[in-house]
Amino acid sequence: MTTIYDIARQAGVSATTVSKVLNGYPDVSVKTREKVQQITAALGYQPSAAARGLVTRRSMSIGVFFQDRSSFGFRHPFLHDIIASFQDIVGESGYDLLFFSNVHSANTPHGFEARARHRDVDGLFLLGVPRTDPGLSSLSRSRIPIVSVDLDLIGSRASYLASDNIGGARNAVHFLYENGHRDIGFVGDRYGTKPGHDRTLGYHQALQELSLPYRAEWIQEGDFTEASGYAAMMKILALRERPTAIFFVSDMMAIGAMRAIREAGLTPGEDISLIGFDDVHLAQYVTPALTTIRQNKDEMGRLAAIELLELMRNPNKPPSVITVETELVVRDSVKNLLNVDQHRSGKVAGIS
Q: What domains can be seen in the chain, in order of their start residue? A: 4-56 (1.10.260.40), 61-164+298-324 (3.40.50.2300), 165-296+329-343 (3.40.50.2300)
CA 7 to chain CA centroid, Å, is: 46
pLDDT digits over 157-171, tens only? 999 999 999 999 999
Nearest CA among 273, 339, 327 for reference residue 300: 327
For residue 236, report the phi and psi dihedrals to the nearest 5 degrees.
-70, -40
pLDDT digits over 207-235, tens only? 999 999 999 999 999 999 999 999 999 99
Q: How many CB atoms lie within 10 A of CB 268?
A: 24
pLDDT digits over 6-52, tens only? 888 888 998 888 877 877 677 788 889 889 888 888 888 776 555 55
The average pLDDT across 316-336 equals: 97
Indicate the residue type of 304: A
Residue 135, pLDDT score: 87
Query: Cα(255)–Cα(275) distance, rounded to whole angstroms?
Result: 10
Query: Cα(157)–Cα(174) distance, rounded to whole angstroms?
Result: 37
Percent of the chain with pLDDT over 90: 62
